[in-house]
Structure 1
């Protein structure tokens, strides 16, 4: 993915992007699936931008139970709140697939480049992206606040359908990841999906779903 195609950098000119590259606040790194990019307890000064692949934001409690709080695909950012606040991370950022990440070092950006022409542009873009990220987190709260397995599934799949603008869509999770995202037992989730399929509410194959009830 071209750097200027990233939402964080779209307002920059070619010249300003080149200035950023030479300023020392950008670096890229590649990760394999399941590699930990940022770990719980670490203090970070960098924001991750997904150039290719995808990244899961995960929380594992004291007893080893995992919850997936979000999935970031191409163009999305992660760890921005922790980089801005300089607080220890309460989550892990994990490669959900083989991926390439562009890191923006906020410490270098703020200490050495605050007078640059592109500094205020990055700030505005970052604010807009943080606001959209809050909407994503709100979506998960809506999904997990329902009491039954079916209602959580309907809330999540309905939201995915609206997001894609189609009753046929793909989700970024396998079954275990879907269960972790919705705070459900995988077996209970699979059984409910099978019941909903028999009832004609939906159809699915792996991570592709088709919603059949126009009222959803």
Structure 2
């Protein structure tokens, strides 16, 4: 996964060849290869999620964070009707905002005709307005 890393002090970097990590064990156990591949998949997905979370920390406004998140979900499916993979508590935590404030901002966006929603089901009503308000 793409990432930038900086050390605060002098250190050594260890590079492991892919084959040493995901290769089969000496006994040629197929389950070992599957286990390691699944482990790497989980770690890389977690790293991508954390990388995305850091990106959201750079967005200053709550509305910008919400709009950017909804646009990313829209881009994944190409459908203006979105079912969010996170509930409100998880989403507010992911965006690093308070849940009540996030809900108020979403209601304002609903009143303005930008989005409509019920629980985790969202509909983008004004895609251009959402793009304008996002930080993408």
| TM-score, L = length of structure 1 | 0.42
TM superposition outliers: structure 1 runs of 4+ over 3 Å = none
Larger relative strand fraction: 1
Distance 2:78 2:49 in 1: 17
**1:161-180 to 2 correspondence within 5 Å?**
161-180=74-93
Deviations 1:24-79 (A, max 9, x none): xxxxxxxxxxxxxxxxxxxxxxxxxxxxxxxxxxxxxxxxxxxxxxxxxxxxxxxx
Q: Given the alignment of the two structures, is residue 115 of structure 1 paired with residue 27 of structure 2, yes or no?
A: yes
Higher relative contact order (CA 8 A, sep 6+): 2
Distance 1:124 1:193 in 2: 39
- Give the CA deviation at 1:147: 1.1
Structure with larger Rg? 2
Aligned residues: 104
Larger relative helix fraction: 2
- Give the CA deviation at 1:124: 3.6
Paired position in structure 1 for 2:13: none
SS in 1 for 2:116: strand
Equivalent residues of 1:203, 1:212 under 8 A apart: yes
CA RMSD of aligned residues (A): 2.3
Distance 1:120 1:165 in 2: 35
Distance 1:121-1:175 versus aligned 2 partners, 3 A rule:
closer
Paired position in structure 1 for 2:72: 159
SS in 1 for 2:127: coil
Equivalent residues of 2:115, 2:123 under 8 A apart: yes
| TM-score, L = length of structure 2 | 0.63
In structure 1, runs of 5+ residues without a counterpart are: 1-112
